[in-house]
Amino acid sequence: MDNKPKKWSYIYLVFVFILMYAPIFYLIFYSFNKGDYMNGFDGFSLRHYQDMFADTRLMEILVNTFIVALLSSVLATLIGTFGALGIYNTKHRTTKNLLLSLNNVLMVSPDVIVGASFLIFFTMIGMSLGFGSVVLSHIAFSIPIVVLMVLPRLNEMNPALIDAARDLGASNYQVLSRVVLPYAWPGILAGFFMAITYSLDDFAVTFFVTGNGFSTLSVEIYSRARQGIDLSINALSALMFLLSLLLVIVYYFISNYSVKSSKKKRGGAAGMVVHQ
Amino acid sequence: MAQPIIEFKHVAKQYDDTVVLKSVDLEIEAGKFYTLLGPSGSGKTTILRLIAGFLEASSGDILFEGERINDVPAEKRRVNTVFQNYALFPNMNVFENVAFGMSIKGKPKNEIKAKVAEMLELVKLGGYEDREISELSGGQQQRVAIARALANDPEVLLLDEPLSALDYKLRKDMQYELREIQKRLGITFIFVTHDQEEALAMSDWIFVTNEGEIVQNGTPVDIYDEPINHFVADFIGESNIVPGVMREDYLVSFAGKEFENVDGGMRPNEQVEVVLRPEDLDLVAEEDGKLVVTIDDQSFRGDYYEITAHDDDQNEWQVQATNPAVIGERRGLYFDPEDIHIMRLNESEEDFDARLEQYDDSEEDEEGADEQ
Amino acid sequence: MSNKRTFSYTVPYILWLVLFVVAPVVLLIVQSFGNIYGHFTLDNYATYFSSGTYLRMTFNSVFFAFIVTVITLLISYPMAYIMSRLKNAQFWLLLVILPTWVNLLLKAYAFIGLFSKTGTVNNFLSFIGIGPHQIMFTDTSFMIVAAYIEIPFMIMPIFNSLVELDRSLINAARDLGATPWQTLTKVIIPMSMSGVKAGIQAVFIPTLSLFMITRLIGGNRVITLGTAIEEHFLVTQNWGMGSTIGVILIIAMAATMFFTRDRKKKGGRRRG
């Protein structure tokens, strides 16, 4: 058992990885198809990429999606970081546990519930659906992941560092800006990246709160996919895959940096999980 | 006597129902090396944190140069701390750590640079400015922590068990160096430790704490030679403690015999405890001894043999001897009248000091009693 | 002394907790007791529990989620086990995680191409002489796609629990005379149960609510709790009934978490 894995286990491993990646590469492969369908490769062509870039509606949605992602992740990171500080500073155990449980409610709730309840909420306060409601929703569901990324960093910080800074004359603000935030920085950065991916990846919540005028990439892909095959979506998926790859690599380096600086062997890839 | 730099008046600290410090009084004079010595949980670190300003006293006054500082926040106190695990900022290098306090105050760059260099020189880390904290050994981190605290020009330096993470050899070196630094700078050091050997080696004055109280204070020699009670005798150095009865002044009875000694001022036939240090006992021939003991065990300790024996009353005796003994052999135990130290049960520190002054002034140096 | 100022930093976070965590859930529950005119009523619940359609839909949804969870577990456990033994385990984990960063809709879209009547899978089936079949818009296709999407979320927690498992325990079991099979069933599997439970939570609950997959792949044949909620909120505009199903889904979620909770943790055992 402790000796090396046997040959069949490698075969199984490779087989599962092929299953996991086949549909993705299948999509990318057909994005280069001369023909219009995903059956039978008629020859190499970049025309679906040209179509995609010429599709002004799609490009506009792409820009919207990134604006929503950046705006919501910056704000969620701000709010979430200070939320994590608040939880960290809460001494009362019951209050702390209550805050932590409430923090995780949106993480464990199914997306439809989150989407439906936000829809009721926005309607209730009379907010019209569109860009604003989408950004607010994305901020809302990204905050807990930021908290979960920042809080462990704060918890592993030696509390004597805060005493030491105050002992050397730092005010509350200086303790925060010079010691606590720099120390938590890898966690904050990781939280920011997770918030971006959460936002880029979200479909269900956006679908509920987007109304008619405004659309993000996920919603657009959904409505186009319901009408059937469109190979410019394949081209888009190739680009999105590259982007994901880039984000994963960036994230991996961030988390490895934080692992190195805290001299811990854990972490690494384990934190980078996006759930639908 | 000059005005004390730090003074505690009936300072107490409690969390909800747990009392960690019962009404403590103490005075710290400028320019000396003080040690707070006690087992963990005895309140010594609480006293340190109260001085630093990390804790607020539940009652009582804390004075700094005669002014009440209970409500002055830590960052405004002219006191700096060397923390137990150093608490160096991991996101800054050596220079930035040492410069932290000065850059907070907005001192000019060249002044900071010169001061950091001076401080690193002082702790023998000259030229280490650009090193990262993670590249330093434990001993070097310790030195950076000292330099960082001293760079702020504190009037009092607080050291919270700073040597506990170092290995034995390094600890010895640092004890010596800390003492040197304190003498050179002439500022007050308050050192917290649970290591009695360390306390005896370094301090001008020791406060022994136990269960939230200061049980005894004095010079290392006083405390070693005249422990006030069972706890202090046991905690500081090795001790043989046996029950006895004070027949009259200068005559005590224990282990079934009467002995001449140098203590007095007690009621006739008062129940007391008798302390004899193992290094004051000599093994002699059976007929030359004041007591007769049977050797039970011995172990070699490098520079001496530690021998355990028992007398005919079944009291256990520890003896440090330069020559080995034979297990099972009967030997005489010899000691001088001055080696016998008497402890009254439940004697307060005031009474203890008063009694010593009254009866012992021929031998004591004056310092022992003038504190209160 | 610094409490007041730190508190002001946290105001936006507290506001978020109240407005986006507590309020929406409360509103959803209130809504479930309202009819289309906004009056208080128990009608929605009465309808739900008396209607065969709703109950059958709920049963189907739970059943599908159960099958999908079992399939992913069967595929993922050996996978996680093999990965945890490899030298560059973290790299393989990264490879498992990468597909989760690809947009869910794109993955579902890929299967539309694969499963369509003239798609690649049917071409292959015809080639080996057993096709073509209607694959799209069937229960099977829904379950395959759902399982495909959920596999990484099952592998990860199991992998983590296996990596944390102390190697010397396995050696100890072997040393005490256990066969490899006994070591697996008596030591390794029981000790990785917390990972399995976390994986079940991570797969079962979302599968109950995956409405986009049922729409794209299952056609309108497969209806899950999630699809029903979407239908009532966005198509028929019957929010009261939609909220009622939402409450049912929340209860199902709570039940799942209750049955798969980590009992050992409650006893104060902490890992890592």
Written as tens digits, the pLDDT of chain A (276 aa) is: 444 557 888 899 999 999 999 999 998 998 898 888 777 788 888 888 998 899 999 999 999 999 999 999 999 999 999 999 999 988 889 999 999 999 988 888 889 999 999 999 999 999 999 999 999 999 999 999 999 999 999 999 998 999 999 999 998 899 999 999 999 998 999 899 889 988 988 999 999 999 888 999 999 989 888 887 888 888 888 888 888 888 888 877 776 665 444 433 334 444 555 544
CB-nearest partner of C6 from A17, A86, A266 = A86
Is B104's CB within 8 Å of A168's CB?
yes
Say which residue the tokens 């695990």 belong to: B85
Q: Which chains touch B (3 or more CB pairs under 8 A)?
A: A
CB atoms within 10 A of CB B120: 22
Q: How sure is the predictor about B257, in pLDDT bands with cuts at 50, 70 and 90? A: confident
pLDDT at residue A2 in the model? 44
Virtual torsion, Cα B342, B347, B350, B356, nearest 10 deg: -10
Closest CA to B137 of B149, B150, B124: B124
Whether the CB of A253 is below 8 Å from some CB of chain C: the reply is no
Whether the CB of B138 is below 8 Å from some CB of chain A: the reply is no
Q: CA-CA distance, A15 to A271, in Å (whole number)?
A: 25
Closest CA to A215 of A97, A82, A62: A62
Choose, out of A62, A96, A112, A265, the residue to mutate when testing the contact with C (most C CBs < 10 Å).
A112
CB-nearest partner of A161 from B79, B89, B104 = B89
Whether the CB of C107 is below 8 Å from some CB of chain A: the reply is yes
CB-nearest partner of B80 from A167, A182, A261 = A167
Compute the nearest-CA separation of A16 from chain C (Å). Answer: 8
Inter-residue contact A204 to A137 (CB < 8 Å): no
Which B positions 35-64 lie with beta carbon below 8 A of chain A? 52-54
Q: Which of A1-26 are b and which e, b meaning 16 or more Cβ less than 10 Å from the residue's Cβ? A: beeebeeebeebbeebeeebeebbeb
Say which residue the tokens 């070097």 belong to: B140
CB-nearest partner of B87 from A164, A170, A182 = A164
Q: Does some domain include residue A40?
A: no
- Give this complex's ipTM: 0.85
Compute the nearest-CA separation of A63 from chain C (Å). Answer: 17
Is A273's CB within 8 Å of C153's CB?
yes
pLDDT at residue C41 in the model? 83
Q: What is the mean pLDDT of each run of 10 residues along chain C (272 residues)?
A: 60 93 92 77 87 89 94 95 86 87 87 82 79 79 92 92 84 83 86 91 89 83 86 89 92 89 47 26
Whether the CB of A110 is below 8 Å from some CB of chain C: the reply is yes
Q: pLDDT at residue B221 above 70?
A: yes
Whether the CB of A201 is below 8 Å from some CB of chain C: the reply is yes
CB atoms within 10 A of CB A158: 17
Copy the structure tokens of residue B343. 């402890």
What element of type H or E holds B193?
A: strand B188-193
What are the φ/ψ torsions at residue B65 (nearest 5 degrees)? Answer: 50, 45
Q: CA-CA distance, A247 to A271, in Å (whole number)?
A: 14
Q: CA-CA distance, A230 to C113, in Å (whole number)?
A: 10
Q: Does some domain include residue A255?
A: no
Q: How sure is the predictor about B49, in pLDDT bands with cuts at 50, 70 and 90? A: very high
Which C positions 145-164 lie with beta carbon below 8 A of chain A? 148-149, 151-153, 156, 160
Whether the CB of C239 is below 8 Å from some CB of chain A: the reply is yes
Copy the structure tokens of residue B159. 């050291």
Average pLDDT, stretch B73-77? Answer: 88
Chain-centre distance for alpha carbon B10:
21
Kindly give the pairing relationship between strand B188-193 and strand B156-160. parallel
Whether the CB of A183 is below 8 Å from some CB of chain B: the reply is yes
Chain-centre distance for alpha carbon B350:
19
| Total tally of structural domains belonging to chain A | 1
Closest CA to B355 of B345, B347, B366: B347
Whether the CB of C98 is below 8 Å from some CB of chain A: the reply is yes
CB atoms within 10 A of CB C212: 25
pLDDT at residue B319 in the model? 92
Which is it for the CA torsion A174, B110, B180, B2, positive or negative?
negative
Inter-residue contact C256 to C243 (CB < 8 Å): no
CB pairs under 8 A between A and B: 69
CB-nearest partner of C171 from A2, A106, A120 = A2
Q: How confident is the prediction for chain B on average, in pLDDT?
A: 88
Q: Residue A219: which CATH number? A: 1.10.3720.10
pLDDT at residue B10 in the model? 93
Q: Domains of chain B by range and CATH?
A: 6-225 (3.40.50.300), 238-277+335-365 (no CATH), 282-334 (2.40.50.140)
Closest chain C residue to A91 measured between Cα atoms? C3
With a CB cutoff of 8 Å and minimum separation 6, the contacts of B252 are: B244, B245, B246, B258, B259, B261, B263, B272, B274, B340, B342
Say which residue the tokens 């006994």 belong to: C182
Whether the CB of A92 is below 8 Å from some CB of chain B: the reply is no
Q: Does some domain include residue A205?
A: yes
Closest chain C residue to A205 measured between Cα atoms? C230
Q: Which positions in chain B touch A171 (Cβ < 8 Å)?
A: 75
Closest chain B residue to A261 measured between Cα atoms? B90
> Which top CATH class is C25-34+41-259?
mainly alpha
DSSP string for residues in B298-328: EEE-SSSEEEEEEETT--EEEEEESS---TT
H-type alpha helices, B53-137: 94-105, 109-122
Query: Could you tell me what percent of chain C has a pLDDT over 70?
Result: 92
Is B134's CB within 8 Å of A263's CB?
yes
pLDDT at residue A119 in the model? 95
Whether the CB of A261 is below 8 Å from some CB of chain B: the reply is yes
Report how far apart, in Å, the C-alpha atoms of C111 and of each of A24, A31, A43, A224, B336 are.
10, 15, 22, 14, 99
B275-303 pLDDT, tens digit each: 999 989 999 988 888 889 999 998 888 88
Kindly give the pairing relationship between strand B341-344 and strand B270-276. antiparallel
CB-nearest partner of A79 from C12, C113, C153 = C12
Inter-residue contact C61 to C139 (CB < 8 Å): no
Q: CA-CA distance, C19 to C25, in Å (whole number)?
A: 10
Inter-residue contact A208 to A118 (CB < 8 Å): yes
Query: Which amino acid type is present at position B122?
Result: L
Inter-residue contact B51 to B97 (CB < 8 Å): no
Closest CA to B56 of B30, B20, B82: B20
Supply angle C-alpha C229, C234, C235, rounded to 5: 100
Average pLDDT, stretch B43-61? Answer: 92
Q: Which positions in chain B touch A264 (Cβ < 8 Å)?
A: none
Per-residue HEC secondary structure of A76-89 comes to HHHHHHHHHHHHHH
Inter-residue contact C141 to C111 (CB < 8 Å): yes
Whether the CB of A229 is below 8 Å from some CB of chain B: the reply is no
Q: CA-CA distance, B72 to B80, in Å (whole number)?
A: 14
pLDDT at residue B360 in the model? 54
CB atoms within 10 A of CB C33: 17
What element of type H or E holds B189?
A: strand B188-193
pLDDT at residue C244 in the model? 92
Categorise residue B10: left if φ over 0, alpha if ψ from -120 to 50, beta otherwise: left
Bridge partners (DSSP) of residue B156 are: B79, B188
Inter-residue contact B263 to B347 (CB < 8 Å): no
Going edge to edge, which strands form the sheet with B18-28? B18-28, B6-15, B59-64, B67-68
Is C116's CB within 8 Å of A229's CB?
yes
Is A163's CB within 8 Å of B54's CB?
yes
Q: Which domain holds residue A186?
A: 64-228
Q: pLDDT at residue B331 above 80?
A: yes
Q: Which positions in chain C touch A103 (Cβ < 8 Å)?
A: 17, 21
Whether the CB of C62 is below 8 Å from some CB of chain A: the reply is no
Copy the structure tokens of residue C13. 């976070």
Q: Does some domain include residue A121?
A: yes
**Longest alpha-carbon distance in chain C:** 79
Whether the CB of A78 is below 8 Å from some CB of chain C: the reply is yes
B208-219 pLDDT, tens digit each: 999 999 999 999
Q: CA-CA distance, B367 to C26, in Å (whole number)?
A: 73
Closest CA to C152 of A17, B268, B224, A268: A17
Whether the CB of A9 is below 8 Å from some CB of chain C: the reply is yes
Q: Does some domain include residue A49?
A: no
Q: How confident is the prediction for chain C on average, in pLDDT?
A: 84
Q: Does some domain include residue A73?
A: yes
Chain-centre distance for alpha carbon A166:
36
Say which residue the tokens 């919603």 belong to: A219
Rg (CA), chain B: 24
B144-203 pLDDT, tens digit each: 999 999 999 999 999 999 888 888 888 899 999 999 999 999 999 999 999 998 999 999
Closest CA to B43 of B216, B212, B208, B190: B212
Inter-residue contact C227 to C211 (CB < 8 Å): yes
pLDDT at residue A41 in the model? 80
Q: CA-CA distance, B236 to B220, in Å (whole number)?
A: 10
Q: CA-CA distance, C254 to C251, in Å (whole number)?
A: 5
Is A167's CB within 8 Å of B104's CB?
no
Chain-centre distance for alpha carbon B340:
22
Q: CA-CA distance, A161 to B80, in Å (whole number)?
A: 13
pLDDT at residue B303 in the model? 84
CB atoms within 10 A of CB B310: 13
Say which residue the tokens 């490895």 belong to: A256
Q: CA-CA distance, B261 to B25, in Å (whole number)?
A: 33
Whether the CB of A26 is below 8 Å from some CB of chain C: the reply is yes
In a 3-state reduction of DSSP, which class is residue A4?
coil
In a 3-state reduction of DSSP, which class is residue B67?
strand
Closest CA to B291 of B331, B319, B321: B331
